[in-house]
Structure 1
Amino acid sequence: MSDEQKILVLTGASRGIGHATVRRFNAEGWRVITCSRHAFPEECPWGGGAENHVQVDLSDPKNTIEAIQDIRGRLNGKLHALVNNAGISPKGEEGARLNTLDTDLRTWGHVFHVNFFASVVLARGMREELANARGSVVNVTSIAGSRVHPFAGAAYATSKAALAALTREMAHDFGPLGVRVNAIAPGEVETAILSPGTDKIVDELPMRRLGQPEEVAAAIHFLCSDESSYISGTEIEVNGAQHV
């Protein structure tokens, strides 16, 4: 057993699933380096959080690459887990779903840079540190990546489907380095940004309730722990059987 403190790099840490993931890993004794396009909020309760926060705009490839160098300088040569949780799902007027007919190309590009390209850029940029720790990468996909969703737009859905495929490719390529790569696909999770009408979806779920951010964080922690040491290249559905 080693007394070495494990390190997690987490994108999309500013709310919802990200917040719950910080809480879970913090409780387990991990050092969490958070990444967000927002500055660290002064009211945030995480001890040492400001010193372990990197402000980065994942929609900007240049800024993302610059942030990697910042993060690597904080790692002491090892990264035990990278969780690609950041994601954006733009809406039309009055929250309308953006479909393939009315989503402009700039929006497609913006969504894919954040939801898809940033994940592989970050993992490749820190592959040496991940390999040194025999670490784990977890990509947060979505149930929208496998079916048309009433609220998630076409750009979001296709970016998450691409991220699921990327997870398989990364598992194949990073495996020889001793790095595991998996994904989780959340369904309807109770956060502050739920779309109106979600209650109608809940009525049709086998478990008849929304998921909690803490339940998603628990799945993420499992995939970053030694309990999942021979699991790689898989996508775990965390949706109360919504996918069936």
Structure 2
Amino acid sequence: MSDQKTLLLTGASRGIGHATVMRFAKEGWRVITCSRQPFPEKCPWGGGREDHIELDLASPDATIAAIEQIRERLGGKLHALVNNAGISPKTPTGGRLNTLETDLRTWGKVFHVNFFASIVLARGLKDELSAAKGSVVNVTSIAGARVHPFAGAAYATSKAALAALTREMAHDFGPLGVRVNAIAPGEIETSILSPGTEKIVEGLPLRRLGQPSEVADVIWFLCSDQSSYVTGTEIEVNAGQHV
């Protein structure tokens, strides 16, 4: 239908990304997904295969080249862009990579996925976002504001940079009618939780892990008309972990 709204989502294959797909699909939106993985055989939303783009955001050339492919699918309007894709490399034994151990190539790859891809996509699709008076949501992390026991230095600094980028984008995209916000999740129950997370949960005011659907609901709010006067902010979704 011609008045159907469209979401472009990166990192859609699991966790928060998958929950976001389901949330927007429930509202009747068309969801275009980008992931380095091919479209999974068992996925529960209709039209997903046709609207999936296999894209490695770690490659600047591939990300820039994908812009035209995405624009062709949009038909002139993009109502929401959610930059959710993120990588957090570990040591060979699964431990945290700190500033002394992270090599430059690894750091660069993390920044390409977690930071640069967000502005490359938003800038490349600014006309479509402006035409729809759309919304951009960047998914940051509690690790961007404090040292985290499991998230590495490259991941943390990329998320801190993404929070700053959100403010810059809100300033620059606002005159185009586009709102730009961020969400900073804490400990969310996904397949990539590190052993020991239960110790963090014991100290949270709400005393529990977050669910991906709870994060998706906040993303939905920031892309809906309910937040029409909200831009340039970062909402913490972490059970009070920041206090």
Q: TM-score range by the shorter chain?
A: over 0.9
Identical counterparts, % of pairs: 78
Name the residue aligned to 2:27. 28
Distance of 1:89 and 1:68 partners within structure 2: 25
Distance of 2:130 and 2:44 partners within structure 1: 32
Distance of 1:171 and 1:123 partners within structure 2: 11
Shift of residue 93, structure 1, vs aligned partner? 2.0
Name the residue aligned to 1:219. 218
Name the residue aligned to 1:45. 44
Give secondary structure in 2 for the equivalent of 1:160. helix
Alpha-carbon displacement from aligned partner over 1:127-169 (angstroms, at most 9, x marks no partner): 0000000000000000000000000000000000000000000
Shift of residue 66, structure 1, vs aligned partner? 1.3
- Superposition CA RMSD, Å: 0.9
Shift of residue 46, structure 1, vs aligned partner? 1.5
Name the residue aligned to 1:69. 68
Distance of 1:38 and 1:143 partners within structure 2: 26
Shift of residue 236, structure 1, vs aligned partner? 0.1
Q: Report the AA paired with residue 62 of structure 2.
A: N
Structure 1 unaligned regions, length at least 5: none
Shift of residue 3, structure 1, vs aligned partner? 6.8
Where has structure 1 moved over 3 Å in runs of 4 or more? none
Give secondary structure in 1 for the equivalent of 2:172. helix
Give secondary structure in 2 for the equivalent of 1:183. strand
Q: How does 1:84-163 map to 2 (within 5 A)?
A: 84-163=83-162
Give secondary structure in 2 for the equivalent of 1:73. helix
Shift of residue 67, structure 1, vs aligned partner? 1.1
Would you say how many aligned residue pairs link Structure 1 and Structure 2?
243
Distance of 1:42 and 1:242 partners within structure 2: 37
Distance of 1:205 and 1:3 partners within structure 2: 45
Distance of 1:45 and 1:184 partners within structure 2: 25
Query: Is 2:198 aligned against 1:199?
Result: yes
Distance of 2:102 and 2:23 partners within structure 1: 36
Distance of 2:179 and 2:48 partners within structure 1: 27
**TM-score, scaled relative to structure 1:** 0.98
Q: Report the AA paired with residue 134 of structure 1.
A: K
Structure 2 unaligned regions, length at least 5: none
